[in-house]
Structure 1
Amino acid sequence: MARTFLFLLLGSSAVCSLTAPLLAQPPAAETARSASSDGSSDIIVTARRLEERLQDVPISVTVYNQEQLDQRNIVNPSDLSVYTPSLASNRQYGTEKSSFSIRGFVQELGTQPSVAVYFADVVAPRAQGPTPSGNGTLPGTLFDLQNVQILKGPQGTLFGRNTTGGAVLFVPRKPTDQVEGYVEGTIGNYAARRFQAVVNLPLAETFKIRLGVDRMKRDGYLHNRSGIGPDDFADVDYWGFRASALAELTPTLENYLIATYNISDTHGHLPQVFVCPRNPATRIPSQFLAPFACAQLDRQAARGDGFYDVENDVPDPMVRIEQWQIINTTTWQASDSLTIKNIISYAQITEKNRTNFFGDRFLLPLSPQLVIPFRLSAVEPGPIGPNAAQYTFTEELQFQGQIDRLKWQAGGYFEISNPTRANTQRNQLFINCANAAALQCIPALGATSSVGILDQKFRFRNIAAYAQATYDITDQFSVTGGIRYTSDRIRARARNVTTRFLGAALTPFTSCSKNPLIVLPSINDRARCEEVFVEKSARPTWLIDLDYKPTDEILLYAKYARGYRQGTINLLPLSTALNTSGPEKVDTYELGGKVSFAGAVPGIFNVAVFYNDFTDQQLQANTIPRPGVFPTNVLVNAGKSRISGLEADLSVRPFEGLRFDAGYAYLDTKLQSFVLPDLSNDPFYSGVIPTATLGGSLAFSPKHRLTLTGTYTLPLSQSVGRLSVGATYTHTSKQYANRADDPFVFQVGFNPGLLPSTNLLNVNVDWTNVGGLPFDLSVFATNVTKEKYALYSGGLLGLGYDVRVIGEPRMYGARLRYKFGS
């Protein structure tokens, strides 16, 4: 670790030593502003790595400032998907481990992100555990932010990691030259308690620091009815710390340092068993778990379980994620026409996960006196390390300049991410273990039962060079062109072993997971099972954009962009033919317009229509096993999909004090072709079944998403304070979580993979400067109408049941903030 800090300091010093003061650096603009008094937008964003007015950027962008995040009670990053058209999140493994989807571009299990997440211009650190983690933003980040920007569509030229869906930018507040800050406390139902504190200190005219902490703890809303383990799941328990320093080394040289530490330690988010095929005559052989699942449902019904009740059988479940990061940005304004910026970062993330993977608690009666509980799968940290442990180092050098009518930027990007320890996980399959490490286990289904250890390491290397320029042909017409060339490499090493229980005596038998013929005397002899896979790809991506501004308040644009996402490695399948999938690409065509209007009813209106030609899509599929082999999930390059749609945003102020904001997205997705891998000679699998249906829509792609927000500020005197009342309504049409249950709809009468539409209503009352004092008081409630809805379904009907992840019930609370300084 000492070497890491030294390397960061040396890197920053090297950049500083190459620079010299020439011209005074202007103060940085506020990166997000509220609507101006006349209702027109002057929000400043960094969607093109430059500070620009939102209405001048030819990108479909949704922006939230910190006030809007607080009003909507957005605590976890995944909460953003409730309010943002075209944005969805996959919360299969809980809110701490969720991943984003934009315009139907989904991150499947094991793939690299389709939506890149950035904090202070640095991409989120990687982690490649057996369940998704890393590559996102942890709880404890959503405080003291300048804004959050959601960029829709591929951002393949200017941003570090190539993705096909878009990017989410979290922009923290920079230190200022004022003594200021706040202390805030929140209380709410489910014993919610949240504390925040921020202080800004200018220690010298040219040196300022900003310190902040965010702490929240809340009981879970899922009630555990098994009597085993905690009383609740889906709880919140995190700390977030942030320290930043801004040093003006010379009038033209600035250094900005950020250090963050986040830790989330919860019981996790337990799925709920909710359906099984009841008729034995219509079941297929693979649905051998149906009798056990139906018995669990009957047991729950007899007990009177409700919508938020679950069953757990793991004594000490947990999801503990810890991450720290250092970001150093050095900016030198070399001249009026040249700015040089260097961004260097280092981060580490560690995850420990112990959970009943599917929330099933099956009971096997061996005799009237002996009943064995078991489940499909339970996971816990492995014998030599956590579930995931990874560091990520990034270095980016940017050059920005302007020559007459030409604005340009260019640079290079380098990223390496390696394990700090092996990613190890112990999996229990159809078994009940008092101590899985000592194999003190009772096999529930005989030779089918097993204990496996995943011992894996992933190494990433990403290198890119890019350039982009905008030329103003006239005062109204401009053209932008950009290109990026990226070289990506993943190397994965696996030493996976499995202990099965064979014979009448159920004697433990340990062997390599992918080759049962290699018998091991001990699980510690995993080196004999070592396999290494490498996935390489190198692709150019580009952008061509035409802008026309007939007036200062109207922007019309037409854009064509190529997006690309690197391939991936999946170490779970037995067949080596299914261990890698190649990169995917998308060609995006977009037409858009942005209008700001004043007059009697000021406001803005933005609209974009887009068409995506998506090829080599990385899609999850289920294997068709040969006799004696169990099915598993794999990733394959599916073929071709079409994604088209429309996005519109409207903000108006009919009269002083009243403001309406609306956002709408229409999304039409279709899987046009699926190329099945040739497994005719494979000894383990005869084929695969995609989790998307040919001719059907893609996962997490609701056809309609509408958000409506109204805010009324009462006409009160300044001595009373500013009192506003607001409400946000969000409608999301039905959408598929997956298509794996399609063949079994006739058995249960509906498709568990199709999530019904939702209608969520949130309200808030905000009183700023109460009685003219430096206190702000807020009262909020989310899901006011107590909508009961699911976030995800598991696609397990092929085994005889399905599970779902339950969304939040009504949450309410109050916040009190004391402000000091300017």
Structure 2
Amino acid sequence: MHPFVRSVLLASAVALPATAYADPVVTDAAAEAAAPAAQDGDETTATTASSDVIIVTARRRQETAQSVPLAISVIRGDSIESTGNFNVVKLQQLAPTLQVYTSNPRNTSVNIRGLGVPFGLTSDGFEQGVGIYVDDVYNSRVAAATFDFLDVEQVEVLRGPQGTLYGKNTTAGAINITTNQPTFEFEGQAELSVGNLSYRQAKAAVSGPLSDRLAARIAVATTSRRGTLYNTRTQRWINEQDNLGLRGQLLFKPNDDLSITLSGDYSTQDPYGFGTAFVRVGTTQRALNRQYEALVAAINAANPGRNYAVPSRNIYDRLTDIDATLQAGNKIGGASLRVKWDLGSGTFTSISAWRFWDWKPQNDRDFTGLSIVSKSQNPSQQDQYSQEFRYNYSGDKLDFVVGLFGFKQRIDTQGTEQQGSDASRWSLTGAQAADASILAGLTASNTQYLKSDSAALYGQVSYKVTPELTIQPGVRINYDKKEGFYQRVVTTGAGTVIACNPVPAAGTVLAAQCGVYQPQSTAPSVSDWNFSYDLNLNYKLARDVLAYATYAKSFKTVGINQNGLPLNSATNLPDLSAGTVKPESVNHFEIGLKTSFLNRLATFNIAAFRTTIDDFQATVNGGQFGTVRGYLANAERVRSQGFEADFKIRTSDRFTAYTNLAYTDAKYVKFTNAPCPPELSGGTLQPVGATPDYSNAGRPGTLSPRQCDISGQGLPGVSKWSFSYGAEANTPVTLLGKDGQVYFGIDGNYRSDWNSNASPSIYTKVDGYALTNFRLGFRSEGVELFGWVRNAFDVNYIELLQVAPGNVGLIAGTPGDQRTFGATLKLSL
């Protein structure tokens, strides 16, 4: 970002007054527990009795969080800010069953209860299992939702299938983000944060009337921070933050029954990143002289005086030496028009939206300072259009919502991957290994696009059989169509286009080049209809005790392989049967109990769930530079089961606390044709039809299975145990002539170990960790100042491990943030 722009924003954040922030109560209706007791179970009394009661729109109507019969975490905007969780990636620290893993904005996976998207695969040809909505607008790719939270009112994390309530089908859950809306009374708010690592964040928002029927709101935010890895090759920090976001809204209310809101937003991220550092070497089944240590020694021997070595073998030294150019330009934005019309008998809502995403990356795909892959980039441009019509009705005994949703998307990608001067020594054998010209400059140029269209009719009815018992069925009819195109053209360093069919003679230069990059062209196309439904029964055991049970039959729609296909070993041509992927079939069961007690000063909620998915869309890859990076295939069945519990208490205006616990047992029930982990890869393949032999794991020079049966093993990226907590205490004081509060807050989270590879590997196990954050500050009417420390005990932990291609045994990774500290000033009017 231009320094002048950032300076103006920082100055604006200091100068602009802002609205006083609410008491920072965190998650899941913690504030709601403070509401006075209603009379005779009157929910309305409880809802309106306190401004701290949390209202949610999870079921497309306004309700108190404790009255919603589903597992939901509600995180208020002030809690997000005070705990430093300023985007979706950071949000998992407050919602234990939410898992977010990222190596860059595009390669980001968001899962709930271990389900959502295949772990570790960048592909546009499948759908998310976790829907991300901002003011009712669906964001189709996770990368398009990695923006900083901007002027957010609250975030709702819904667990379990939500397809009968939301426009786009979601099989694992939804993240529903609500921003602050224009007001007909003037208000403004500003925030400035500074910290170590050159951290700077400024936010400002202004809202007010332009006339008696027209109001406007505008918000801006900027974030910058020095990187957390130091690249000794370029002598600069990488993996930095450099974000700017803008949002503007106009609200037109011609009368009390009609509101029309026009919104537009734009976010740009231009950090220098993202890269990895050396973690370890894990022995594969490749010949020992073709594994990492021997290959580095061979390159050094062939280049006297070079003496290449990684700058550190301890990732927590935060040193790397990757040599490729890095870039992570990410532009996100769009516009929407929302119309809400109160018809007396119900409310009609229309949401029309257009969104775009422009991704410009450059990566180092060999994860080393050697010139093996000298260039790797897949810039993409997306346009999406959506239209949703929804009608809500609320009555004494009957509530319902019915909706019609249409969606159209196109993504274009232009990929380039190029081999470097060390590639021959790394990937070839014999005399060819000494001839750098065979692979140097070998380039794979990919052109691809995806056209995706879908339409759905959905609805849900809530019928009160008695004042205590409610039956809530829902249905969804869905149509999806996907058309893709993928073409890979391979050229030599001299610019000559090569062809690899028929199969070139073994030992030739062409055979060596085809062993690294295979040209291919495919155009997969598929369409499908799906019908899904759910049934929820909920019963008020007492005024403040709600029990519920849910069954959902859901699906994730059909997918296509958009990054190329594996080759058929008999013909050396793309295996067209792998072009499409069957839809997932989901069966979900859940029971739960929501309680309030101590005159609603405390809440305790617990839920148990079991979800099975047949034809799970899983990641498959061969670990080679060659034909494709990875592709989708159907695992026969996976299962996720466990429980979640949360407790909140607000003993008085002076003390609040919460704790959340989740146990998630997610595994492949049956996956007999899975990719093998690195310890069972790299050797000569066992004969076709042979029973896979797993006895030689990690033994160089032994035969490798063609595929592995990983049935019974855990799903990647899932911690069995996760836990978060927080508390805040305050005392009244007078400071500099202002009456207010001095407060102290603590929050933290724990995640047990998890595996970072699509097929669990002994080399990619990530150890569990616990993080603790503190804050101390003063708040009064119109002003708040607090200091904060995040990861206060400077815990070393890994965010993600990655297996280097080529089966050489190299494992690279990204360390989590070290201890950070700083101060935040908020002003309001």
More displaced 10-residue stretch of structure 1: 454-463 or 654-663 = 654-663
The answer (yes or no) to whether the contact 1:39–1:653 under 8 Å persists in 2 is: no
1:656 CA displacement: 5.0
Matched AA of 1:55: Q
Q: Is 1:291 equivalent to 2:283 in the alignment?
A: no
State how 1:719-734 maps to structure 2 within 5 Å.
719-734=738-753
1:510 to 467, 472, 497: 497
1:63 CA displacement: 1.1
The answer (yes or no) to whether the contact 1:66–1:143 under 8 Å persists in 2 is: no
1:417 to 409, 418, 437: 409
Matched AA of 2:553: R
2:111 to 101, 112, 115: 101
Matched AA of 2:247: R
Between the aligned partners of 1:680 and 1:155, the Cα distance in structure 2 is: 43
The answer (yes or no) to whether the contact 1:554–1:595 under 8 Å persists in 2 is: yes
CA 290–787 in structure 1, closer or farther in 2 if over 3 Å, else same: same
CA displacement, residues 780-814 of structure 1 (integer Å, 9 cap, x when unaligned) = 11111111111111134833211112211111111
Q: Is 1:665 equivalent to 2:662 in the alignment?
A: yes
The answer (yes or no) to whether the contact 2:60–2:392 under 8 Å persists in 1 is: no
CA 728–358 in structure 1, closer or farther in 2 if over 3 Å, else same: farther
1:188 aligns with 195
2:516 aligns with none
1:703 to 717, 720, 741: 720
Q: Is 1:396 equivalent to 2:388 in the alignment?
A: yes
Between the aligned partners of 1:629 and 1:138, the Cα distance in structure 2 is: 30
1:741 CA displacement: 6.4
Between the aligned partners of 1:515 and 1:495, the Cα distance in structure 2 is: 18
2:78 aligns with 67
1:555 CA displacement: 0.7
State how 1:597-608 maps to structure 2 within 5 Å.
597-599=597-599, 602-608=601-607
1:139 CA displacement: 2.5
2:622 aligns with 623
1:286 CA displacement: 10
CA displacement, residues 600-621 of structure 1 (integer Å, 9 cap, x when unaligned) = x821111100011111101112
CA 125–302 in structure 1, closer or farther in 2 if over 3 Å, else same: closer
CA 50–447 in structure 1, closer or farther in 2 if over 3 Å, else same: same
Q: Is 1:309 equivalent to 2:319 in the alignment?
A: yes
1:747 aligns with none
1:380 CA displacement: 2.8
1:466 aligns with 458
More displaced 10-residue stretch of structure 1: 490-499 or 588-597 = 490-499
CA displacement, residues 139-162 of structure 1 (integer Å, 9 cap, x when unaligned) = 33x131110111111112111222
State how 1:396-795 maps to structure 2 within 5 Å.
396-419=388-411, 422-431=412-421, 444=436, 446-447=438-439, 450-500=442-492, 508-511=495-498, 530-570=521-561, 571-573=563-565, 574=567, 575-599=575-599, 602-623=601-622, 632-654=629-651, 656-676=653-673, 689=707, 693-716=710-733, 719-738=738-757, 740=759, 742=761, 751-769=762-780, 774-795=782-803
CA displacement, residues 39-72 of structure 1 (integer Å, 9 cap, x when unaligned) = 8872111111111110011111111111100111
CA 305–61 in structure 1, closer or farther in 2 if over 3 Å, else same: closer
1:83 to 94, 105, 128: 94
CA 677–85 in structure 1, closer or farther in 2 if over 3 Å, else same: closer
Matched AA of 1:162: N
The answer (yes or no) to whether the contact 1:496–1:513 under 8 Å persists in 2 is: no
Q: CA RMSD in A?
A: 3.2
2:175 to 155, 168, 176: 168
The answer (yes or no) to whether the contact 1:272–1:358 under 8 Å persists in 2 is: no
Between the aligned partners of 1:808 and 1:754, the Cα distance in structure 2 is: 19
More displaced 10-residue stretch of structure 1: 701-710 or 31-40 = 31-40
CA 150–801 in structure 1, closer or farther in 2 if over 3 Å, else same: same
1:112 to 127, 130, 141: 127
Structure 1, gaps ≥5 residues long = 1-30, 127-132, 363-373, 382-386, 434-441, 502-506, 520-527, 743-750
Length-normalised TM-score, structure 1:
0.82
CA 339–606 in structure 1, closer or farther in 2 if over 3 Å, else same: same
1:261 aligns with 266
Partner SS state of residue 664, structure 2: strand
CA 515–493 in structure 1, closer or farther in 2 if over 3 Å, else same: farther
CA 393–631 in structure 1, closer or farther in 2 if over 3 Å, else same: closer
CA displacement, residues 55-107 of structure 1 (integer Å, 9 cap, x when unaligned) = 0111111111111001111123200112211111121x235752311001142
CA 431–35 in structure 1, closer or farther in 2 if over 3 Å, else same: farther
CA displacement, residues 701-746 of structure 1 (integer Å, 9 cap, x when unaligned) = 111001111111124369431221111121110011125463xxxx
2:279 aligns with 274
1:219 to 226, 239, 243: 226
Between the aligned partners of 1:99 and 1:484, the Cα distance in structure 2 is: 25
Between the aligned partners of 1:105 and 1:448, the Cα distance in structure 2 is: 41
1:514 CA displacement: 8.3
CA 216–32 in structure 1, closer or farther in 2 if over 3 Å, else same: farther
CA 563–462 in structure 1, closer or farther in 2 if over 3 Å, else same: same
Partner SS state of residue 313, structure 1: coil
1:699 CA displacement: 1.0
1:633 CA displacement: 2.0
Between the aligned partners of 2:253 and 2:548, the Cα distance in structure 1 is: 38
Between the aligned partners of 2:714 and 2:295, the Cα distance in structure 1 is: 32
The answer (yes or no) to whether the contact 2:635–2:674 under 8 Å persists in 1 is: no
The answer (yes or no) to whether the contact 1:94–1:269 under 8 Å persists in 2 is: yes
Partner SS state of residue 498, structure 2: strand
Matched AA of 2:664: L
CA 460–585 in structure 1, closer or farther in 2 if over 3 Å, else same: same
Between the aligned partners of 1:741 and 1:649, the Cα distance in structure 2 is: 30
1:122 CA displacement: 0.8
1:807 aligns with 816
1:512 CA displacement: 5.9
2:239 aligns with 234
Matched AA of 2:612: D
2:14 aligns with none
Between the aligned partners of 1:757 and 1:37, the Cα distance in structure 2 is: 34
CA 597–74 in structure 1, closer or farther in 2 if over 3 Å, else same: same
Partner SS state of residue 454, structure 2: strand
The answer (yes or no) to whether the contact 1:712–1:726 under 8 Å persists in 2 is: yes
Partner SS state of residue 147, structure 2: coil
Q: Is 1:42 equivalent to 2:53 in the alignment?
A: yes
CA displacement, residues 303-334 of structure 1 (integer Å, 9 cap, x when unaligned) = 998531111212x4211011111111101111
CA 608–617 in structure 1, closer or farther in 2 if over 3 Å, else same: same
Q: Identity, % of aligned pairs?
A: 22
The answer (yes or no) to whether the contact 1:643–1:669 under 8 Å persists in 2 is: yes
Partner SS state of residue 353, structure 1: strand
CA displacement, residues 738-775 of structure 1 (integer Å, 9 cap, x when unaligned) = 25463xxxxxxxx2211100110111123212xx5x22
Between the aligned partners of 1:702 and 1:780, the Cα distance in structure 2 is: 27
Between the aligned partners of 1:589 and 1:287, the Cα distance in structure 2 is: 49
1:448 CA displacement: 8.7
Partner SS state of residue 275, structure 2: coil
1:634 CA displacement: 2.1
